[in-house]
Each structure stands twice: as C-alpha cells, then as structure tokens.
Amino acid sequence: MTFATPRQVFSLFEADVRTRNRNAAERRFRLYGVIAITISMLALALLLFTVLDNGLGAFRQTFIEIKVPLDPARLDPSGTRDVEAMKKVTTIGYGKVIQAGLVATLAEAGIATDDSSVRDVFNLISKEAPAQLRNRVLANPDLIGTTIDFRAFASGRVDGYFKGRVSMASAELDSNISPAQLAIADEMKAKGLMGLHFNWDFILGPDASELRPEAAGLGVAIIGSAYMMLIVLVLSLPLGVAASIYLEEFAPTNRWTDLIEVNIANLAAVPSIVFGILGLAIFINFAGLPQSAPIVGGLVLTLMTLPTIIISTRASLKSVPPSIRDAALGVGASKMQTIFHHVLPLAMPGILTGTIIGLAQALGETAPLLLIGMVAFVRDFPASPPEGFFDPASALPVQVYNFTQRADPAFVERASGAIIVLLVFLLVMNAVAIILRRRFERRW
C-alpha cells in the first residue's frame, strides 16, 4: 500500500485491481489443490481399473466339454485296476484317449473333421488336460470302462481368442494357432462344446509351466502366503506386545532405551529388500534353513512387521488414561497386575487393529521374498504345518512377479487376476481392522 495516491477512492461494491489479483491468486491456489486431489484420485481409479480390466478375465476360462470313453485296454493294460500298475501309463496314453473321445464328440455334434483337422482340434485342448484326466482316473480307478464327461482347459490361445486377446489376424502370424483352428473353435462354441466358465483351478490349483498359461493357478501361492501370515502372527504379536509394554511402561529413560527407540523408528524405514538380504545371510546361509520355505519368509516378514506393531501398540497403550492405572494401583494391584489385568485388555482393540494392518503390509511384501528363493517354480502343495513350513512354497505377490516374467501375454491376465485375489485378501483384512476399531475402541 502506497501513500503517494491520497485521492484513491475505495468502493466496497467494486473491487480494485489489487484485490481482484489477490482474489484470483486465492482461486488459483484452491484450484491447484483440487487438481492435485483429482490427479491422485484419477491415479487410484486408473490403477484399480487396469487391474480389474486385465484381471477379471483370469477367473473365467474357456473349457471344452468332451465325452471321453476310458478305454480299459489303453489305460489299464494289466486289467487289475491296480493303481501302481496304472501309473505306468503316461500322459501320452491319456492324450490318445482324449483324442479318440474328441473325435467321437465332434462327430456326434456334426462338426466335420478329417485326419489333418483332428490334429488341429486336439491342439485346441490344453497340454495340461491329459495330466488332469490321469489324476482323475488314478484317484478313482473304477471310472475305467465308463464314458465320462470331461471338461478340459482350452489352450491359452483359444482362451485368448474368446477374450479378445487373440484375433484371426494375429493367429495368421502365430505358430501356436491358426485361423482354421479358431474357426473350428467358433463352431464348437456355437454347438455348446466350448465355453467360458468360472475357473476354480485358478484360485485353488498349482502353478503351471510357461507353455500352459491356461492351467496356471494360485493354490500353492495362497497356501504359502497363509503359512507365512500364520508365522508372522504367532511370532510378531507376542514379541511386539511384550516389547511395547516394556518400552512404554517399565523402561527407565536412559541411553539404552533411547537407543532401542531410535532403533525401532529406523527399522520401520529400512528398505524391505535389506530384510531380504538379512534373511538370506542369516536364516539361509548361517542357520541353514531351506530356501523358498515359508518359515524363512515368515521370519523375515516378522522382523519387518515388528516395528509397525510396536509403534501402534505403544500408541494404544499410551491412549489408556492414567486414571485406570491409578485406580488399579490404588486398590493394591502390583504394577504388573495393573498392566496385564487392566491396561492391556483396554488397549487390545487398538493392538489388534495395528497387528492386522501390519499383517496386511507383510502380505503384500515382495522384494525380500525374492531374495530368499520364493521365486522358484513350485508345483507341489506344501505339507500341512508344522512340516509344511519347511517345504518349498510360493507367495501371492511373488507369484504375480513370476507371472510377469513369462513371455506368453496370457500371463498378464493371470498376474492381474492374482493381484485381484491379493487385493481381496487385503480388503478383508483392512475391513476387519476397521470394524474392530469402530466396535471396540473406546474414546476416553
């Protein structure tokens, strides 16, 4: 404001230039804020949209319905229905049975096939199908001699065709599929022999090799993740609560406890991959625990989760008002009794909320698990605990990473589908945490 213009007239109804500028600046600033928030919301929406758009397809899979006559001469040459003897028949033998069934099924449906197209049609079926049929027959030898309805995976390319990933034009250039095969697939779909169905094997089945994206599932990864979460919960909750009680209620203020506090604050910010290095060097190389085992993953994630749990537990212990402690001490309880009988139960909802959020973080952690060998390709389900903790397993986020490293574009869909499963688990955990907080947390 200058004093050189004494005759300037101020009007309350008409803003002068300077006021208008200031108001414009105000509006601009507000707009920046709105833009920033819009960008973050858009990013969130785009992220979720990408994952859902790419991944929902993974839950539905193209299946081929075939009536397969289980020829005893081929599948059980000894005729004894002895499982050990039947194991000698390899998947190639089962492939021939499926092919025979396929020809018959197609003939019945009135789809013309000659010798060359039979091979083509057979290639529409996943390479995994003979193994599936073999497992089914070995599990129930009485099926031999009957004709069963067999629902086989269609190959990855056929599945991609029905999901829009593969087109006639791209099939022209593809050595794995030809337009003629896709035409047959269309015809089979029209006759109801082929169609998209919900695919439980994606959630429950084991991983499959690089060439069979249609059969790849998350079963082993889900079990591995569940085992690790169990270990993390069992170890980190008691350890974290005990450490917090000591630091919050008993620790004298001296250099030593100061060191522990700084240490915990720093541990919470150490990059996760460093914990992976720790796991590799200490648990695997030094202590000799097996690679890719849930026990190692669980231990590493426990150490990572511990600071989170300690920080939230201390906050909820702190929020219990001193009057509770005073009252308990006043009627003659010892300090230990006060804490374990009164303070801790009142702090429990907050502690559990913090624990669940820590677990959710641990569930999504990938980098440290890569270093302790969880990237290995694991097809066998781990045994039940406790032995299963030492068996090789995968983990959900690592499985996502594994899928992204494979060449076939069908695995992009699988990876996104796996993320949906992961996000559903996280959503459930966080919902539980919120419900716990809403229902049980007291405001003093």
H or E stretch at 61: strand 60-69
Which region, judged by CB under 8 A, interacts with another protein, from 45-53, 56-64, 198-206, 348-356?
Answer: 45-53
Residue 415 is a binding residue for another protein (CB under 8 A): yes
The minimum distance between CB 75 and another protein, in angstroms, equals 29
Measure the CA–CA gap between 323 and 411, rounded to whole angstroms: 59
| Cβ distance to another protein smaller for residue 135 or 334 | 334
For another protein, which residue of 182, 375, 410, 421 counts as binding (CB under 8 A)? 375
Measure the CA–CA gap between 441 and 288, rounded to whole angstroms: 43
Report which of 92, 106, 95 is spatially closest to residue 185, judged by C-alpha positions: 106
For another protein, which residue of 318, 334, 384, 438 counts as binding (CB under 8 A)? 334
For another protein, which residue of 15, 16, 36, 174 counts as binding (CB under 8 A)? 36
Which region, judged by CB under 8 A, interacts with another protein, from 31-39, 121-129, 154-162, 165-173?
Answer: 31-39
The minimum distance between CB 26 and another protein, in angstroms, equals 5
Measure the CA–CA gap between 28 and 22, rounded to whole angstroms: 10
Which region, judged by CB under 8 A, interacts with another protein, from 160-168, 185-193, 320-328, 369-377?
Answer: 369-377
Whether the Cβ atoms of residue 154 and residue 194 lie closer than 8 Å to each other: yes
Measure the CA–CA gap between 204 and 219, rounded to whole angstroms: 4
Measure the CA–CA gap between 293 and 376, rounded to whole angstroms: 10
Determine the residue type at 241.
V
How many other C-beta atoms can be found within 10 angstroms of the C-beta atom of residue 325?
17
For another protein, which residue of 15, 16, 20, 30 counts as binding (CB under 8 A)? 30
Which region, judged by CB under 8 A, interacts with another protein, from 134-142, 143-151, 240-248, 343-351?
Answer: 240-248
The minimum distance between CB 248 and another protein, in angstroms, equals 10
The SS3 call for residue 59 is helix
Q: What is the token pair recorded at 422? A: 């992961």
Residue carrying the six token digits 């001469």: 73
| Cβ distance to another protein smaller for residue 126 or 402 | 402
Residue 393 is a binding residue for another protein (CB under 8 A): no
Q: How many CA atoms lie within 13 A of 387 on its CB side?
A: 4
For another protein, which residue of 220, 264, 293, 356 counts as binding (CB under 8 A)? 264
For another protein, which residue of 201, 365, 391, 408 counts as binding (CB under 8 A)? 365
For another protein, which residue of 63, 162, 389, 401 counts as binding (CB under 8 A)? 401
